[in-house]
């Protein structure tokens, strides 16, 4: 069975794992009601997405 000859340094391991960080959700303004909503998601306040109302939201 293959066994590593040398221990990998913390620097080398951390460089490899650097892209695994948790990034904050990207927010954009809703064109209908101007509230901040996550991108590629139907607006939770007005139900608007990509130029049309998809969900009727009860007020």
pLDDT in tens, 8-48: 999 999 999 999 999 999 999 998 888 999 999 998 888 88
pTM as predicted: 0.55
For the cut 90, the answer to whether the pLDDT of residue 52 exceeds it is no
pLDDT of 53: 82
Query: What is the band of 59 on the pLDDT scale with cuts at 50, 70, 90?
Result: low
Cα-to-chain-centroid distance, residue 54: 22
Give the whole-angstrom CA distance, residue 41 versus residue 58.
18
């Amino acid at each position: 069975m293959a066994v590593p000859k040398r221990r990998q340094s913390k620097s080398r391991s951390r460089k490899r794992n650097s892209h695994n960080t948790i990034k904050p959700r990207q927010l954009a303004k809703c064109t209908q009601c101007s509230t901040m909503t996550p991108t590629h998601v139907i607006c939770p306040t007005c139900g608007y997405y990509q130029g049309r109302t998809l969900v009727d939201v009860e007020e």
